[in-house]
Structure formats: C-alpha cells, structure tokens
Homo-oligomer: A and B are copies of this chain.
Amino acid sequence: MVSSAVTATCYGPAAQVEISVKDLAQLSGLRGQYPVVWVNVDVLEEDTIGWVGEAFGIHRLALRAVFEASQRPKVEQFDDVLFIVARMTTCTDRLEIEQLSIFLGPGFVLTFQERPGDCFDQVRNLIRREGSRLRTTGADYLAYALLDSVIDSYFPLLELYDERLDDLEREAFVSPDAATISRIHDVKRELLVVRRAAWPHREVVNSLLLEGTPFDRETRIYLRDCYQRAVQIIDLLENYREIAASLTEGYLSTVSNKLNEVMKLLTVFMAIFVPLSFIASLYGMNFRPEISPLNMPETVWYYGYPFALGIMATVAGGLLYYFRRRGWL
C-alpha cells in the first residue's frame, strides 16, 4: 500500500499500478488511461477533497456531505455518478466507526475516509493478483467489493460483543459485583451506536439493487448476497440487545439473591442467640433463693449451672435443627 493521503489504484485485465497522487493535473491525466481508476483519500482536508472531486466532476453538495462525518448511510444519484455514504468499522478491537464516502462513476471509484486505516487490504490484494475477478470487471464491481468489505467488517466487531456478553453472562450469574450493571449498560450503549451505523446499510444495498443503478446483472447477484449479510447484522444486533436486557434482569436477580442469602444467614445467626441471651439474663435476675425457695432454685442446685447451660444448648440445637429443616440455613 502506497502511504499518502491520496492514492490512485489504476487497473484493467492487463495492467495495474498504484500511484501516490499529489495534485489535480496528475489525477486528470490518469482518467481514461485504465479501465478502472480507484482514488482513495485518507484525510478530511477541504483542499484535497476539492481537487479530487473537481478532477471527476463531483457535485458540490455531495462533496459537502463528505465533510459532515456523521452522515447516515445513504445512496444519492448525481447525473452519472452514484454517491454512497457508508459507515465502516476500523477493523480493530475498539468500537470506532468512521464515515466512508464512495463515488461510483463511469470508469472510476472515489473513496473518502476520515482517517488512514481501513478494511480494504483484501480488495487491494485482489486487484494486484492478475486474473482475479476484480481485474476483469468494471468500476461497479469494485464499488460492490468495497461496500462488501465495509459490511463484512461488522462481523468481527459483533463477535467481540458476543464474547463480551458471554463474559458478562458468567459475571452476572456467577460473580456479580456493583460495576457489572455499568458494564452491561456500556455494552447496551455501544450496541446502540453500532446499530445506528449498521442499520441503514440494509436500505443502502437495497437501493443499489433497484433498476437504474450502474450495477450489471452479475454484480447484482453479489449485491443480493451483500444484502442478506446486512440483514444478518441487524438480526444479530437485535439478538444481542435482547440478551443484554435479559442479562440485566439476571444480574439484578443474582445480586439480590446473594445479598439476601447473606442477610438471611446473619439474621438466623442473631436469632439463635436471642433466646440464649434471654435465658442468661433470666438467671441474672436478682431473685435470691435465700428469700424464697421458689426463687430460681437451680442457682442452689449442685448441678444448677450445667443444667442452665444444658437448657441453652438444647434451645440452640433445636433452633439450628428447625432452621435447617426449613431450609433457612
């Protein structure tokens, strides 16, 4: 890959070159020399976007949309140029979504990214390989291939969320802590971001399948496949959201169960001592046997003290047995 802000990849069945482009003149010279010219811009710079757009006669409103990097994925037709806005993941471990603007015109494809780094390495490799389908087809197939890469880039991201949900599931049901709910909330919030980016792709690919778009019959077969995958991403996202919702309930229930178990054990523990303490304080009362033979006669028995302890042990044992039998312990 040539490292520069503007890269032109020109190819046909016979030849293929990758050129780092510096100005309008150089770019205008390339047009028409090769069956397909793909110009990729890696930077959101007004000047650069301006002269690249000028070289291919792009509508000013479309170029304005390239800058507004929070556009919703969409398709627009400007004369003979098809303008596609997509949102691609950065193919890394983090949730980072950037806007990709694709212009498909006769014999050329322009792509504008927000920053360097994309999911197109496989496409580039196929262009370099002589005899690949990409080399022998037109610009419409290249546009399809790029859009396809964008949509496929969501699958690894979704797998990450699948793993995170699996981890959270274990966490929520086995060892929940106070931060678990906040982690579930983070996943929910991120899934909303992914959904907002991915959802309109279905509509985008569907629009491309309509009559009047510059895709030939063969490429439409591929696009239909692409459409199915866009739908699949939406299905998965909905599933993840439902799983996250169910996880929240599971977490709340598990936390509550764990705490309640502790409170129940502590309360049972205290409840066992309550009658024992009462018995002890009974014998601490100042009724002296000297005054009346009815006054706590145990206190003058030889085995009075062991007798009192025995009563306490019996009460404690009885309660333990009862609580255990009720399943409270």
Decide yes or no: A291 and B286 within 8 Å by CB, A243-B189, A253-B252, A254-B178 being known contacts.
Answer: no
Q: What is the number of residues of chain A that contact chain B, defined by CB distance less than 8 Å?
A: 91
Cα of A182 to Cα of B232 in the assembled complex, Å: 27
Asked whether A182 lies within 8 Å of B173 as measured between CB atoms, the reply is: yes
Count copies of this chain in the complex. Answer: 5
Asked whether A285 lies within 8 Å of B287 as measured between CB atoms, the reply is: no
Asked whether A189 lies within 8 Å of B246 as measured between CB atoms, the reply is: yes
Cα of A254 to Cα of B65 in the assembled complex, Å: 42
- Least CB distance, A176 to chain B, in whole angstroms: 9
Asked whether A305 lies within 8 Å of B286 as measured between CB atoms, the reply is: no
The contact of A221 among B61, B235, B243, by CB within 8 Å, is B61
Can you name 19 A-B residue pairings with CB atoms under 8 Å? A78-B221, A173-B181, A181-B254, A182-B254, A185-B250, A189-B246, A256-B256, A266-B267, A266-B271, A267-B267, A269-B271, A270-B271, A277-B281, A280-B282, A280-B284, A291-B304, A292-B304, A294-B306, A295-B304
Asked whether B271 lies within 8 Å of A72 as measured between CB atoms, the reply is: no
Q: Mark A239-257, 1 if CB is under 8 A from B, else 0.
A: 1001100111111111111
Asked whether B221 lies within 8 Å of A59 as measured between CB atoms, the reply is: yes
Closest 5 CB pairs of A and B: A283-B285, A280-B281, A284-B284, A287-B305, A181-B253
The yes or no answer to A321 lying at the interface (CB within 8 A) is no
- Main SS class of interface, A: helix
The contact of A292 among B243, B247, B261, B303, by CB within 8 Å, is B303
Residues of B within 8 A of A302 (CB): 291-292, 294
The contact of A259 among B192, B254, B260, by CB within 8 Å, is B260
Residues of B within 8 A of A46 (CB): none
Residues of B within 8 A of A254 (CB): 178, 181-182
Stretch at the interface among A18-26, A33-41, A90-98, A222-230: A222-230
The yes or no answer to A308 lying at the interface (CB within 8 A) is yes
The yes or no answer to A263 lying at the interface (CB within 8 A) is yes
Residues of B within 8 A of A157 (CB): none
A70: nearest chain-B partner, CB-CB: B232
Residues of B within 8 A of A298 (CB): 287
The yes or no answer to A275 lying at the interface (CB within 8 A) is yes
The yes or no answer to A124 lying at the interface (CB within 8 A) is no
Decide yes or no: A232 and B72 within 8 Å by CB, A65-B225, A270-B271, A305-B296 being known contacts.
Answer: yes
- Least CB distance, A118 to chain B, in whole angstroms: 23
